[in-house]
């Protein structure tokens, strides 16, 4: 942000605070409020229980990702990508690695077994991320049981990804040119057992919330996001699809082996209220979990039948000892659980350290629409709106 833009924004903020009416009050929600899902501070201007305006304050978790990426080589940046949306580390590293591989010209040489393993672990991570979103959303608006159920089932995924990578959340598993290691022996069978266990549990979770009248009353017709507003604010992922726009980069860009897999793109339909309301955003995530389960099943089938493990298979065969990229600018994007994650690279000659790596996190853009959605609602409904956005502050405060 330039000094002129910052000064103008600060002046607008001062003017808004100075214009507070006699019946209005300033309330701080966060940065230590459990419903803000991290160190987010929302400065609310209220008239009784009605929210008149919202002023978000960021920066409490600033971690200097961009500067870190400019200080180390391409390979050493992968652990830092894991810490952006730390609930979807596999998806983060997959996007970053794809960008570096394309700049190197390695993308067409990656073995199919490696690609299917990448998609498998990314979809497992997507399911785990959505379970967190649904579980914490339930507890935000007073439903405790879904929270416990979601964390119980997520634990199985965490155990499997820990078995594959050695870490529970920050995996550093997907490497430039390959993988840290092949899947452990028996992983495919254990993953298939989880899928068989999880399918009926997902039906129970769906029945517990989707048709629950109290849940519908708290989410339907609340925080409706029109499609044009979503596009103008740069929203993506479930936020955008809940507004009725069928946009998923796994289909649009067709990266990795996603074009070889069958899955649908769930969109909001306004079944319980307005199109793009909180209920639609919740339902899109539930339906996306079902589609991710389909993708996991297809990956397991291909890995067990078409691309089986062999004694001579080396997932690190193409991993470069030093990443030498010609000077160029390149942008790569991928569909994360929360939306479009992009990396803009500015590579420079004669060094394996990039001149610039700019991360485009979906949570930041999705959160930016909150002042638009929250005007004129009750404070309790603002909690429901913020929870339906599903943010991770590690991705907002980069």
pLDDT tens readout for residues 241-297: 999 999 999 999 999 999 999 999 999 999 998 999 999 999 999 999 999 999 999
Residue 107 in tokens: 């993308």
Mapping DSSP to helix (H, G, I), strand (E, B) and coil, where does residue 25 land?
Answer: strand
The C-alpha atoms of residue 44 and residue 16 are separated, in whole angstroms, by 11
Query: Residue 153's CB: how many other CB atoms inside 10 A?
Result: 20
For 336-382, the DSSP string reads ETTEEEEEEEEE-TT-SS-SEEEEE-HHHHHHHTHHHHHTTSBHHHH
Contact indicator for 63, 398 with CB cutoff of 8 Å: yes
CATH 1.10.645.10 fits 63-395, yes or no: yes
The C-alpha atoms of residue 226 and residue 193 are separated, in whole angstroms, by 41
Secondary structure letter of residue 183 according to DSSP: P
The C-alpha atoms of residue 352 and residue 324 are separated, in whole angstroms, by 5
Task: Please list the ranges in the chain whose pLDDT falls under 70.
Answer: 1-3, 5-6, 9-10, 13, 16, 18, 21-22
Can you give the pLDDT at residue 342?
A: 96
Which regions of the chain carry the CATH code 1.10.645.10? Answer: 63-395
Contact indicator for 24, 47 with CB cutoff of 8 Å: yes
Exposure on the CB side of residue 56, measured as CA atoms within 13 A: 24
The C-alpha atoms of residue 148 and residue 143 are separated, in whole angstroms, by 10
Contact indicator for 256, 93 with CB cutoff of 8 Å: no
Could you tell me what percent of the chain has a pLDDT over 90?
75
Contact indicator for 215, 278 with CB cutoff of 8 Å: no
At residue 213, φ and ψ (nearest 5 deg) are -65, -35
Can you give the pLDDT at residue 365?
A: 92
Contact indicator for 194, 160 with CB cutoff of 8 Å: yes
């Amino acid at each position: 942000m330039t000094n002129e833009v910052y000064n103008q924004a600060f002046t607008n903020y001062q003017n808004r605070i100075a214009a507070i009416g006699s019946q209005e009050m300033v309330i701080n929600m966060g940065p230590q409020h459990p419903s803000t899902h991290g160190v987010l501070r929302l400065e609310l201007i209220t008239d009784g229980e009605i929210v008149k305006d919202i002023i978000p304050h960021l920066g409490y978790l600033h971690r200097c990702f961009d500067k870190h990426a400019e200080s180390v080589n391409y390979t050493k940046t992968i652990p830092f990508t894991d810490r952006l949306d730390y609930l979807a580390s596999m998806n983060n590293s997959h996007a970053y690695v794809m960008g570096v591989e394309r700049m190197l010209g390695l993308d067409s040489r990656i073995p199919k077994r490696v690609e299917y393993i990448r998609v498998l672990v990314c979809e497992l991570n997507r399911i785990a991320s959505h379970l967190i979103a649904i579980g914490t959303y339930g507890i935000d608006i007073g439903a405790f049981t879904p929270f416990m159920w979601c964390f119980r089932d997520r634990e199985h995924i965490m155990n499997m990804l820990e078995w594959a990578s050695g870490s529970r959340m920050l995996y550093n598993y997907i490497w430039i040119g390959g993988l840290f290691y092949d899947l452990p022996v028996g992983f495919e069978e254990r993953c298939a057992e989880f899928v068989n266990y999880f399918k009926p549990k997902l039906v129970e979770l769906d029945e517990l919330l989707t048709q629950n009248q109290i849940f519908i009353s708290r989410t339907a017709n609340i925080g409706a996001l029109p499609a044009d507003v979503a596009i103008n604010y740069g929203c993506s992922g479930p936020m955008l699809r809940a507004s009725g726009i069928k946009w998923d980069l796994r289909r649009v860009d067709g990266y990795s082996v996603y074009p070889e897999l069958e899955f649908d793109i769930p969109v909001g339909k306004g079944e319980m209220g307005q199109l793009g309301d909180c209920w639609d955003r919740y339902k899109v995530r539930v339906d996306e979990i079902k589609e991710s389960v389909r993708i996991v099943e297809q990956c397991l089938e291909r890995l067990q039948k078409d691309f089986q493990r062999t004694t001579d298979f080396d997932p690190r065969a193409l991993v470069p000892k030093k990443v030498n990229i010609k000077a160029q600018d390149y942008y790569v994007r991928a569909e994360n659980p929360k939306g479009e994650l992009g990396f803009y690279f500015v590579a420079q000659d004669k060094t394996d350290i990039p001149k610039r790596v700019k991360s485009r996190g979906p949570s930041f853009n999705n959160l930016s629409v909150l002042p638009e959605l929250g005007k004129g609602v009750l404070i309790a409904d603002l909690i429901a709106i913020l929870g339906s956005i599903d943010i991770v502050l590690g991705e907002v405060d980069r």
